[in-house]
Amino acid sequence: MKETNGRIQFECREDLPATAMSLGGTAWNRTGSWKFLEPGYQNLTPPCSHACLTDMDVVAMMRSVEAGDWDAAAQTVIAVNPFPSITGRTCPHPCETPCNRKAYGGGISVRDVERQVGDHKLRSDVRPELPPMTHERVHVVGAGPAGLSAAVALRRLGHPVTVHGSTPEPGGLLWCGAAADGLPTDIVRAEIAWVAGLGVEFEPTGRFTRDEIEALGPTIVSAASPGVSAASPGVAAAAPGVSAASPGGAAAEPGRDVSPSDGAPSLPDAWGADGPSGADPGRAAEAAARRGAAIPDAIRHGRLAAHTLHAERTGVCVPAADPLVDQGASPEIAKFKALHMASFQRQAPAPCEVLDGEMRLHTLTAVEHGLSRAGATSEATRCFKCGTCTDCDTCFHVCPDVAISKKAGGGYVIDLAHCKGCGVCVEECPRAAVHLRKST
């Protein structure tokens, strides 16, 4: 028996095995040349993340909760939203409308999971990693959700931040939520204290004139001040019109059209095409008022304004408008029919505690009491993680050519020299995270 380039040659009958069995490998046979289609990994955008008013990576949060890593879940949320305990109670949760789970046991209570994550953040005082404050100080005019969100984002980028409010205590719209929707005041207070804990300074300066703002230096204006223009250099306006209407409680309309049939939000972004610094605040305020101002909207715009200002001042761009796509995901939304239901069980949602009908007549407290921690874990487990590779190993196991191997830090690599392009991995992937494209 001799071996040439990995191929075994039998030289006599005695070389033959007792039965048809491999005596060597088949790596010499580079079957990759047979293919005209080749598989590749790319996450799609889950419908929940696409609909999220704060651009949250919902699936990442779910995966951390499922794994029992509540700190990591909190980090995922506060990367875009410093107030998950508030939005976890008041957000109109447009994320839940297009949930693919709806068709297979019942939609996921994303907001209730976020609420548990937020409460964990407060309980365990989970904070982001904060760089030293090496950049110039930025002033934020307006201490509502947009202003505070901008402040947190700036602080995370290394700016010292001073927030100027018109009332003795920061919070603005957050307090309106507390008043109108039964949002517990201790939650609002704790969330605001958490921001202060990051080193964000607050001054109850009162009202500013335009000249006073320009004198401050780099500033974000996130207050309803029709006279203030955001056009001057170093001044960005965040979430205009925050004083309008009720905060993001159950009565507030979802800020964006979240129909999964539409690839992009159909309602105009507050800033128009030119981005924040070129926006006309009047028009933006009108747009904001039209879609119903909501806390999560304010949070998102505060963060975007902070990133824009940072980019203007430092020349370093912070990609944040669509975090998933920035991380390499396709903007294509993962639809139900792209998922592989054979990999999932039809499971009913975890029970959510709600006040019964009679009690609602006699109290002003919140109707929804959310999920238990175990319930949140159960929901996170039930979540399909649409369009997202979860390292489930399905592709690894089903590949008939053993052409898929695991990467050290997670994920897989396909040996295209041996992959025949059969597409079994694509067909079997539970979450539509592997795709076939024309072979090059």
Partner 1 sequence: MTPNPRTSDATTTAAPAAPPAAPAASRTMILTGNQAAAWGAYLARTQVVSAYPITPQTTIIETLADLMTKASWPSKFVNVESEHSAMAVCIGASITGARVFTATSAQGLALMHELLHWASGSRLPIVMVDVNRAMAPGWSIWSDQNDSLSQRDTGWAQIYCSSAQDVLDTVLVAFKVAEALNVPVMVVEDAFVLSHTAEAIEVPAVEVVDRFLSPRKAAFKLDVDHPAAFGGLLSPDWYQEVREELHKSLLAVEGEMEKASRDWERLTGRAYDAIQTWHMEDAKIALVTSGTVSSTAMDAIESPWARRERVGLVQMRLFRPFPSARVRAILAGVPKVAVIDRNCSYGAHGIWFQELKSALYGLPEAQRPQIYGYVMGLGGRDIGLEAIEDVMRRTIDRDRPEPETQWLGALLPSVPKQAPGCATGGGCCQEDHP
Which tokens sit at 416?
């295209």
Using CB under 8 A as the binding rule, the residues of this chain from 4 to 33 that contact partner 1 are 10, 13, 16-23
β-pairing, 404-406 with 201-203?
Answer: unpaired
Q: Residues in contact with partner 1, total (CB under 8 A)?
A: 10
Q: How far is the CB of 21 from partner 1 (least distance, A)?
A: 5
| Whole-number Å distance between alpha carbons of 428 and 197 | 47
Between 122 and 402, CB nearer to partner 1: 402
SS3 label, residue 373: helix
Is 111:368 a contact under the CB 8 Å cutoff? no
Q: How many CB atoms lie within 10 A of CB 189?
A: 15
Nearest-approach distance from CB 10 to partner 1, in angstroms: 7
Closest distance of CB 418 from partner 1, Å: 15
Smaller CB separation from partner 1, 23 or 179: 23
Half-sphere exposure of 248 (CA within 13 A, CB side): 34
Convert residues 52-81 into a mask of x (bound to partner 1 by CB under 8 A) and - (unbound).
------------------------------
Q: Kindly state whether residue 2 participates in binding partner 1, applying the rule CB under 8 A.
A: no
Q: How far is the CB of 392 from partner 1 (least distance, A)?
A: 21
Least separation in angstroms between CB 400 and partner 1: 11
Report the C-alpha gap between 199 and 46 in whole angstroms.
34
* CA separation for the pair 197, 190 (Å, rounded): 10
Least distance to partner 1 from the beta carbon of 23, Å?
7
Asked whether the CA dihedral 192, 196, 198, 200 is positive or negative, the reply is: positive
Closest residue by Cα to residue 392 from 344, 351, 349, 438: 344
Q: Are strands 201-203 and 330-333 parallel, antiparallel or unpaired?
A: unpaired
Least distance to partner 1 from the beta carbon of 25, Å?
9
Kindly identify the residues of this chain, within the stretch 383-402, that bind partner 1 according to CB under 8 A. none
Residue 222 CA to residue 145 CA, distance in Å, equals 9
**36 CB neighbour count, 10 Å cutoff:** 9
Would you say 20 or 364 has its CB closer to partner 1?
20
Nearer to partner 1, 23 or 103 (CB): 23
**Footprint (CB under 8 A) of partner 1, residues 300-319:** none
CA distance 286 to 338: 38
In angstroms, what is the minimal distance from the CB of 70 to partner 1?
Answer: 37
Smaller CB distance to partner 1: residue 19 or 134?
A: 19
Q: Which is closer to partner 1, CB of 22 or CB of 345?
A: 22
Nearer to partner 1, 23 or 231 (CB): 23
CB nearer to partner 1: pick between 17 and 132: 17
The vertex-247 CA angle with 75 and 220, nearest 5°, equals 65
What tokens does 159 get? 């700016």
Structure tokens given for 93: 């949760």
User: Which residues contact partner 1 (rule: CB under 8 A)?
Assistant: 10, 13, 16-23
